[in-house]
Structure 1
Amino acid sequence: MSETANSTPTVNTTNYRSIWGYLQELEFRQGFVEVEGVRTRFAEAGSTDKPHAILLHGTGGHWETFAPNLGALSEHYHCVAIDMVGNGFSEKPDYDYEIDVYVRQILAVMDKFSMDKAHLIGMSLGAWVSAAVAVNHPDRVNKLILMSPAGLIATASNMARIRAERTAAVENPTWDSIHKVFEHLIADEDNRLPDLVALRQVIYRRDDTRNTIDHLLILQDASARDRNLIPEKKWATITAPTMVVASGKDHGEYQNTARTVARVIPTSEIFEMAEVRHWPHFEDPESFNPAALAFLGK
């Protein structure tokens, strides 16, 4: 991709890539459901008579992070990817979004889609929420896939980075400021698809996003983070078979968490993806999708 002298790389229109390259032949539906009093956006793919899978994004995310995965997964599973409360295009109520808020939403979504149990596939915050469901509601979980997981440890520097980066992008949602968010999420510039930047820009320009950004970032405050972290002894109680994805170019905090939880969860295995950053499933679906299907199909 070519670059301007002092700005974000420009879009390569000769070999333009879009998330629709992954979705164009996929039979899926997007909609909204009311759960826990929150209008929740979702994408659903795969026959409802197949085993169920819930897909959960990270902080500030939306279901499109799973665009490269829905096609492969929905051949074998009934997949529902959501925008979690306060994120994406879901409703953003006027209260803090702590882990229990997300957990209640996930359980309500499962009930809405008639899922007694489901595989939970989560990235970053989504992995944290998935683990919390597995700890507190083990009867609702079949297997876990945890990518770039959060929820075990927290460093002041990383919390400050996330808060500053996201707040700046919401306060001044230019293309450059949104692009900087993705520099920490995706290692290869060619995989920072313009569609993603444009979607996030639309979300960050919304009045409801600006009005509730502090609620969304509550988990970057030390006191809130500490009361929501899952201690190592509780990670060790997870009985669901678990695949932990460790991203080799991710922030050290997430790499440490991945390797620690893979060690302490009794029925776990680790999948190393050396060349990706915080969104391994999006950046390298050619590696992630077969590994995820092999794990879930065991």
Structure 2
Amino acid sequence: MPRWSFTVVSQPESRPTTSSSIINKDRIMTATALHPKDNYRSIWMYLYNVPHEVKFIDAGGINTRYFVAGDKDAPPLVMLHGTASSFETFCANIPSHAKHFRIYAVDLVGNGFSDKPDVLYKAPVYVKHVKDFMAAIGLTRASFMGVSLGSFVAAKLALDSPAMVDKIVMASPFGRTLPEPTGEPTKLDDMRAARQRIVEDPSWDSIKSAFVPLIADEENRIDDLVAIRQAMYSLPGMVKTMANIWDTYEARVFNENALDEASLRAIQSETLIISCSDSEDEFLVNSKLYEDYIPNSVLVDIKKSSHWPHWEQPDEFNAVSLKFLTAGM
């Protein structure tokens, strides 16, 4: 619990200026919040002094939750989160990026607190939602920051409608063609089973376990992120929604829309790929292949991260991202 210290400061006695004055400010109490942990992290501590709005808008019939910040006339930057997540994942990136861009951080359809129709969440469903969202707020073109699933959606949008996509920042990129099933459980199978168990038991400890493969340092698996995820996973119908999200990762379904070598080579947007080499997994493999295949791409590696470099190492991530988005490769 925070410790609070109070200081009473005496002020010179003053006479009320009108007979109706009812407040006598001859003593003022000030409070200083002290916390036992240095560099205390919370969603609000990143956003408390950033002018912003959290809004809902109809995007092609989907009631869509989004966060907006930054000058209205600044270039637009759309932020797309990972699987079964929400826009809060970007709270450590919004303050620095909002100084240069008009930020739109979106809860993708089926995710966060946007609508969750009973459909399989294939890539075209997400791409249509982003296009409908952009149309609803009046955007014709934007740069994109995508984490994991968000990077896949941004890449698919760049292929589907290249005129709508300026630059792309990909963290822990996802979407590459999956190997055909061999009958043996895969890492994706394990992740799907784990996430389904969590949504069926959205207790605090259960929800917090979802962040273990995402965030390397336990200190960074903060209560704010757990609480938001718990609220999301406790929504009515979320068990079915989670199945709809993860059933699309079955190889035969997913590969209908996956990023093969030819499609990656067809992406024309300048692309920053951020890898996490301390976590040797399929996302690291993706990072290296995407750098090889996407023509206008550059790869930057961020250490001491697992899957969320934008949250785990925000100062380094923000500096690299802003340099790329404002000055190019």
Aligned equivalents of 2:280, 2:42: Cα separation in 1: 26
Contact kept in structure 2, 1:69 and 1:285, CA below 8 Å: yes
The residue correspondences of 1:54-69 to structure 2 (distance < 5 A) are 54-69=78-93
**1:283 Cα deviation from its structure 2 partner:** 1.1
Contact kept in structure 1, 2:304 and 2:312, CA below 8 Å: no
Alignment partner, residue 4 of structure 1: none
Name the Cα RMSD after superposition: 1.3
Alignment partner, residue 137 of structure 2: 113
Contact kept in structure 2, 1:153 and 1:257, CA below 8 Å: no
Alignment partner, residue 14 of structure 1: 36
Aligned equivalents of 1:80, 1:221: Cα separation in 2: 30
Aligned equivalents of 1:160, 1:228: Cα separation in 2: 19
Stretch of structure 1 that moved more, 155-164 or 71-80: 155-164
**1:153 Cα deviation from its structure 2 partner:** 3.7
Aligned equivalents of 2:47, 2:187: Cα separation in 1: 33
**Deviation readout 1:48-69 (Å, 9 max, x if unpaired):** 2111111000001000000001
**1:228 Cα deviation from its structure 2 partner:** 2.1
Alignment partner, residue 290 of structure 1: 319
Alignment partner, residue 191 of structure 2: 162
Flag the structure with more relative contact order, 1 or 2, with Cα contacts below 8 A and sequence separation at least 6: 1
**Deviation readout 1:167-204 (Å, 9 max, x if unpaired):** 01001111221111100000111111111111111111
Give, as a single letter, the amino acid of the residue that structure 1 aligns with 2:77.
A
Alignment partner, residue 242 of structure 1: 271
Contact kept in structure 1, 2:123 and 2:153, CA below 8 Å: yes
Alignment partner, residue 60 of structure 2: 36
**1:110 Cα deviation from its structure 2 partner:** 1.2
Contact kept in structure 1, 2:151 and 2:170, CA below 8 Å: yes
Aligned equivalents of 2:119, 2:44: Cα separation in 1: 34
Aligned equivalents of 2:207, 2:117: Cα separation in 1: 23
2:299 aligned counterpart, secondary structure: strand
Percent identical among aligned pairs is 35
**1:19 Cα deviation from its structure 2 partner:** 1.4
1:230 to 2:254 alignment: no
Alignment partner, residue 143 of structure 1: 167
TM-score calculated relative to the size of structure 1:
0.93
Alignment partner, residue 83 of structure 1: 107
Please state which structure has a larger fraction of its residues in helix.
1
**Deviation readout 1:218-275 (Å, 9 max, x if unpaired):** 2222221121211111100111110000012335100000110011111100010121
Contact kept in structure 1, 2:54 and 2:65, CA below 8 Å: yes
TM-score calculated relative to the size of structure 2:
0.84
Contact kept in structure 2, 1:96 and 1:218, CA below 8 Å: yes
2:66 aligned counterpart, secondary structure: strand
Aligned equivalents of 1:124, 1:211: Cα separation in 2: 22
Contact kept in structure 1, 2:84 and 2:242, CA below 8 Å: no
Give, as a single letter, the amino acid of the residue that structure 1 aligns with 2:205.
D
Aligned equivalents of 1:153, 1:222: Cα separation in 2: 8
Alignment partner, residue 131 of structure 1: 155
Give, as a single letter, the amino acid of the residue that structure 2 aligns with 1:79.
I
1:173 aligned counterpart, secondary structure: coil
1:103 aligned counterpart, secondary structure: helix
Alignment partner, residue 126 of structure 2: 102
1:217 aligned counterpart, secondary structure: helix
Instruction: Count the aligned residue pairs.
Output: 286
Stretch of structure 1 that moved more, 266-275 or 105-114: 105-114
Alignment partner, residue 73 of structure 2: 49
| Long gaps (5+) in structure 1 | 1-12
| Long gaps (5+) in structure 2 | 1-34, 180-184
1:252 to 2:275 alignment: no
Alignment partner, residue 9 of structure 2: none
